[in-house]
Amino acid sequence: MLYIAIELAQEFDLENYLEYTQGFKELHALQLFLQLLKGIKAIHQSGFADRDIKVSNILIGQDLKLKISDLGLAAPLNGCSYSNERHDIRNTECK
């Protein structure tokens, strides 16, 4: 029997958080953006591309820490073919 344990997400998603707070100051936005970049970097270093980053897939906890959720469209980076010479991950076809 296989068990999968996941953390219970009691956070807002970033979309609802933005609606609830009516936005936030530039410094706070920069701090959140840097967290997001670190999360994306961690996913890439694990050998995957998320391919579905959007505000509704970014959770924000009471401690204001971001978590990337819904990796259903993630694909291995080594299984991707790039459609341009610059290896732009936005234009990938992954199997």
Q: What are 51-68's pLDDT values in tens digits?
A: 778 888 888 888 888 888
The catalytic residue positions are 52
How far apart (Å, rounded) are the C-alpha atoms in residues 91 and 89? 5
Closest CA to 93 of 51, 53, 45, 41: 51
What does the pLDDT look like over 6-16, one tens digit per residue?
666 667 888 88
- 11 or 87, higher pLDDT: 11
Residue 5 scores a pLDDT above 80: no
What pTM was computed for the model? 0.69
